[in-house]
Amino acid sequence: MQSYKIAFLGAGSIAEAVIAGLLEANLVKGQDITVSNRSNTDRLSYFKSKYDVNGTHDKKELLRNADIIFFAMKPKDVVEAIAEVKEYITEKQFIISLLAGVSTASMTGLLEKHIPIVRSMPNTSAAILKSATAICASAYATEEHLRIARQLFEAIGSVSVVDEEQMHAVTALAGSGPAYVYYMVEAMEQAAREAGLDNEVAKSLILQTLSGAADMLLTTGKHPAVLRAEITSPNGTTQAGIETLQNNGFPDAIIKCIKRATERSHELGETLQALMKQ
Ligand SMILES: NC(=O)C1=CN([C@@H]2O[C@H](COP(=O)(O)OP(=O)(O)OC[C@H]3O[C@@H](n4cnc5c(N)ncnc54)[C@H](OP(=O)(O)O)[C@@H]3O)[C@@H](O)[C@H]2O)C=CC1
Ligand SMILES: O=C(O)[C@@H]1CCC=N1
């Protein structure tokens, strides 16, 4: 890949996961990445010492040499963030937005210029090159911008190109998705503790079970219901467990969870639009 100078506006969890992944994949050199945030100097020092990337609070300096600008602040902070930097961003650069819920049209409205934007939704598994990322292009992004974004995200996991309207569901499913799995692991660990299993033994069993099940889905291509049926002996332990999940609304809870997270993504975008009208 051609070498690009990359700026990050925002130095939180997802910026770290993406940077860690890009460096691990050897796609980008630390010296070509500069990270900035609102005010947290310790965090920039942490990035410097852990990843050997540059850090600055001088937004003009940050953006002067950047080819690609990642937007990685919370949606509520994007109005202030763009107001601070828009004079330094030109049409020759391009933005990769990681923001949940925020449309490229809203960002273009705030930028007041036709800057190419690729809206993206990775997840924190980017840090270990396992992100499930979806991307879409703004009205001002070309196939070339999409190709470059795709190349960056393919280095840190899988990439799906979707219509912008689908980004809300993608965010609920895959952006937030790892958190649902971690929540389930927390519950499995509690059950193991209550059953008197040693913590380390339980952890090893749970993680290998999860990773084995994911690999079975990936490698066998079998439908999850088929794989589930292969485990479920009539009147056995699995049947008893699954019935308990059904009786406690497990499928319904998962479906509601993803619907509510999708709705929340819409709300984040609408809140921003309301702010822009003020
Ligand atoms: N966490 C995740 O798994 C994912 C998050 N996202 C999206 O990524 C974005 C960031 O999320 P996350 O990393 O969790 O958030 P964090 O709260 O961890 O980080 C937010 C960062 O934004 C910085 N920031 C705030 N205001 C500005 C500003 N005006 N200029 C520059 N930087 C600013 C903060 O700086 P300071 O600390 O100095 O205030 C901080 O470094 C969100 O929009 C979220 O929707 C997308 C995919 C997954
Ligand atoms: O919780 C959030 O809003 C962000 C978006 C996806 C993951 N974290």
Instruction: Give me the residues paired with residue 131 across strands.
Output: 157
Q: What string of DSSP letters covers 29-43? A: -GGGEEEE-SS-HHH
- At residue 277, does pLDDT exceed 90? no
Do 198 and 73 lie in one domain? The reply is: no
Give residue 220 CA to ligand 2 midpoint distance, Å: 31
Instruction: Give the other-Cβ count within 10 Å of 173's Cβ.
Output: 19
Do 153 and 34 lie in one domain? The reply is: yes
Give residue 119 CA to ligand 2 midpoint distance, Å: 14
pLDDT band for 276, please (50, 70, 90 cuts): confident
User: Which residue segment(s) compose the domain that 244 sits in?
Assistant: 177-258
Do 183 and 227 lie in one domain? The reply is: yes
Q: What is the pLDDT of residues 244-271, one digit of tens each?
A: 999 999 999 999 999 999 999 999 999 9
Do 92 and 158 lie in one domain? The reply is: yes
Give residue 170 CA to ligand 2 midpoint distance, Å: 11
- At residue 41, does pLDDT exceed 90? yes
Decide whether any atom of ligand 1 lies within 6 Å of the 142 Cβ.
no
Residue 149 has what pLDDT?
98
Give residue 229 CA to ligand 2 midpoint distance, Å: 33
Do 83 and 203 lie in one domain? The reply is: no
Decide whether any atom of ligand 2 lies within 6 Å of the 177 Cβ.
no
- Tell me whether residue 128 is in a domain: yes
Q: What is the pLDDT of residues 200-232, one digit of tens each?
A: 999 999 999 999 999 999 999 999 999 999 999
| Nearest ligand (C-alpha, residue 171) | 2
Q: What is the pLDDT of residues 69-120, one digit of tens each?
A: 999 999 999 999 999 999 999 999 999 999 999 999 999 999 999 999 999 9
Please identify, by atom number, the ligand 2 atom nearest to the C-alpha of residue 100: 5
pTM of the model as a whole: 0.97
- Tell me whether residue 210 is in a domain: yes
- Tell me whether residue 196 is in a domain: yes
The predicted model gives 57-77 an average pLDDT of 96
- At residue 241, does pLDDT exceed 90? yes
Do 154 and 185 lie in one domain? The reply is: no
The predicted model gives 3-15 an average pLDDT of 97
- At residue 132, does pLDDT exceed 90? yes
Q: What's the domain count of the chain? A: 2
Do 223 and 137 lie in one domain? The reply is: no
Q: Best mutation site among 170, 171, 257 for ligand 2, i.e. most ligand atoms within 8 A of its Cβ?
A: 171
Do 122 and 12 lie in one domain? The reply is: yes
Do 144 and 222 lie in one domain? The reply is: no
Do 119 and 240 lie in one domain? The reply is: no
Do 75 and 145 lie in one domain? The reply is: yes
- Tell me whether residue 267 is in a domain: no
- At residue 61, does pLDDT exceed 80? yes
Do 33 and 96 lie in one domain? The reply is: yes
- Tell me whether residue 273 is in a domain: no
